């Protein structure tokens, strides 16, 4: 009978092989789960270097915990997400500083286009700021269910909470985002109007 390749194998099989010092199995686990972990940490931290560091630390931790990991208690993806959340929280507490966003688009030269670009930039900035200001449990719900488009059941496994908790956190998070963005609308509109008057 043909033995499954690492890419075809289940997580449980890959973990068993990794415990037997099968390097290709551990590499397969990394390739399978690292992208989702990276997207999660990047969305939570808004920093690519932080996301890279945390994902690296997750797999170092997992390598050391291979003997203790119990697949019957938690799916591998949920276990790795738990490690990522812990590392991210530890890092956030240690650094206690805001990570600035990079890559905002340059403003075009025409006055009318500049107003439109300013409005779009302000909306994006307001959304990012509102998301960053959410308490961590609500931000996690938005990141997993909205940005990563996970099903409620999958997010619940990742967060180790009931599905109903994910639903309620997501509902509350959307309310909080809506309130924050609504409060940000009026100053943004006034800034755009002043800029339009300047260039008209």
- When the pLDDT of each residue in the chain is averaged and rounded to a whole number, the result is 79
SS (H, E, C) 115-140: HHHHHHHHHHHHHHHHHHHCCHHHHH
User: Class of the 111-199 domain?
Assistant: mainly alpha
Q: List all residues 6 or more positions away from 60 whose beta carbon is below 8 Å from its beta carbon.
A: none
pLDDT score, position 34: 96
Locate the domains of the chain by residue range.
11-95, 111-199
Of 17, 35, 34, residue with least CA distance to 26: 17
Q: Which CATH number fits domain 11-95: 1.10.1740.10, 1.10.3720.10, 1.10.8.10, 3.40.50.360?
A: 1.10.1740.10
Half-sphere exposure of 27 (CA within 13 A, CB side): 5
- Per-residue pLDDT band for 118 (boundaries 50, 70, 90) equals very low
Task: Provide mean pLDDT across the span 127-156.
Answer: 88
Per-residue pLDDT of 33-49, as tens digits, reads 999 999 999 989 888 99
């Amino acid at each position: 009978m043909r033995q499954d390749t690492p890419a075809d194998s289940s997580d449980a099989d890959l973990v068993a092989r990794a415990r037997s010092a099968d390097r290709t199995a551990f590499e397969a686990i990394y390739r399978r789960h690292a992208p989702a972990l990276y997207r999660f940490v990047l969305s939570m931290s808004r920093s690519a270097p932080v996301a890279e560091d945390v994902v690296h630390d997750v797999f170092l931790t997992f390598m050391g915990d291979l003997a203790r990991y119990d697949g019957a208690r938690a799916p591998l993806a949920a276990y790795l997400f738990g490690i990522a959340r812990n590392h991210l929280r530890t890092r956030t507490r240690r650094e206690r500083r805001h990570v600035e966003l990079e890559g905002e688009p340059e403003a075009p030269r025409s006055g009318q286009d500049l107003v439109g670009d300013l409005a779009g930039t302000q909306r994006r900035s307001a959304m990012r700021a509102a998301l960053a200001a959410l308490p961590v449990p609500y931000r996690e719900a938005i990141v997993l269910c909205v940005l990563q488009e996970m099903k409620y059941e999958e997010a619940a496994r990742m967060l180790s909470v009931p599905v109903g908790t994910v639903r309620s956190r997501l509902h509350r998070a959307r309310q909080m985002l809506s309130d924050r963005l609504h409060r940000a609308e009026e100053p943004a509109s006034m800034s755009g109007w002043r800029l339009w008057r300047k260039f008209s």
